[in-house]
Amino acid sequence: MGEWFDTVITITSPRPFSEALEGLQGFDKKRIAEAIVSDDPGLTAPSGFTSLAASGSAIEGAQSILPELLIHQEMMIDVATRGTQIQDVNDYYLARQVRLTSLCPASNVPYTNPHEDLWAWFHYWKSEGYDSYRERRHYIRELFKPSIRAAAGRAFAAVHEREPTGWERVDRGLVKARADLDVASVEEAWQGVGLLCREVLISLAQEVHDSDRHPTTDETGKIISDTDAKRLLEAWLRHEYEGGSNKEIRSHIRASLDLANNLQHRRTATRQLAASALKRHRRPSRLLQYCQADGKKDNRRD
């Protein structure tokens, strides 16, 4: 006798995508579940799925606009149809409304939700005579349709998070560059990401360069400026890792600086170039690993 098993679907995604998926109504979940199993005729589509948040991960900035819009939309529908108490969720609504009001215009996503809080939405549907749940759902879905369509159609450059270096100016510069990339939509803003990437390298060079141990002049005898990231890092490299093959690290230093400088001055800068520059600075490179190892070495001596 054969056994029959239910198809179980679990979707793991970073917050707030996981929250948006979990908050979808039943028929939306069913459509997604059907799409997931559509390529396997041997599976029976379940009526929905379970949404889990990936451990320790979260999406912020422009990349979070779509799930934030979906969560906001469903929250407004919930209080108007499912009996969710406004006082229980209004604080969340207020915080998300502030984020969307800021993020959407900066990312060229239209956002015209006029309801400052859920009480304002409550008084609106009462004054407009939206007595049926159907009328309220229709109003909210039409209100959010242009925003969701625009956010779903945008391709946001993904830049993976990395662990903080522990050097305040380096970390602060990386965070700022990531935030600016998320909302940038014109050439000048993408050029600004290049400037920030260049400043990160200068801060990194200043952190690892020690004037007592590393040469303060270059090969020609010229005094190295404290903003010359390339020569500061090469002076550090020659002293700390002499005798080894440092071609890869030296190439990385030059490539990172060249990319940042090119982006900073490129009047035809693009989101892809800005994302590439930031990825080169954020990924676990040998340069950063060596710099951090050198910092730990200094701490042990102290």
3-state secondary structure the chain: CCCCCCCCCEEEEEECHHHHHHCCCHHHHHHHHHHHHCCCCCCCCCCCCEEEEEEEEECCHHHHHHHHHHHHHHHHHHHHHCCCCHHHHHHHHHHHHHHHHHHHHHCCCCCCCCCCCHHHHHHHHHHCCCCCHHHHHHHHHHHHHHHHHHHHHCCCCCCCCCCCCCCHHHHHHHHHHHHHHHHCCCHHHHHHHHHHHHHHHHHHHHHHCCCCCCCCECCCCCECCCCCHHHHHHHHHHHHCCCCCCHHHHHHHHHHHHHHHHHHHCCCCCHHHHHHHHHHHHCCCHHHHHHHHHHHHHHHHC
User: What confidence score (pLDDT) does residue 246 get?
Assistant: 66
User: What confidence score (pLDDT) does residue 301 get?
Assistant: 37
User: What confidence score (pLDDT) does residue 284 get?
Assistant: 39
Reading the block at residue 4, the tokens are 């029959």
Residues 6+ apart with CB under 8 A from 30: 45, 47, 48
User: What confidence score (pLDDT) does residue 295 get?
Assistant: 54
Q: How far apart are CA 280 and CA 194, in angstroms?
A: 11
Of the chain, the end-to-end C-alpha distance in Å amounts to 73
User: What confidence score (pLDDT) does residue 243 get?
Assistant: 56
pTM exceeds 0.75, yes or no: no
User: What confidence score (pLDDT) does residue 58 get?
Assistant: 73
User: What confidence score (pLDDT) does residue 71 get?
Assistant: 94
User: What confidence score (pLDDT) does residue 15 get?
Assistant: 84
Averages of pLDDT over runs of 10 residues in the chain (302 residues) are 59 85 84 79 77 72 88 95 91 94 87 96 96 95 94 63 75 84 79 89 87 76 84 79 65 80 86 76 51 50 37
User: What confidence score (pLDDT) does residue 143 get?
Assistant: 97
Beta partners for residue 223, in sequence order: 217
Torsion, CA 116, CA 121, CA 126, CA 128, rounded to 10: 80
Residues 6+ apart with CB under 8 A from 159: 178, 181, 275, 278, 279, 282
What is the DSSP pairing of strand 50-58 with strand 10-15? parallel
Residues in the chain: 302
Asked if the bond preceding 16 is cis, omega within 30° of 0, the reply is yes
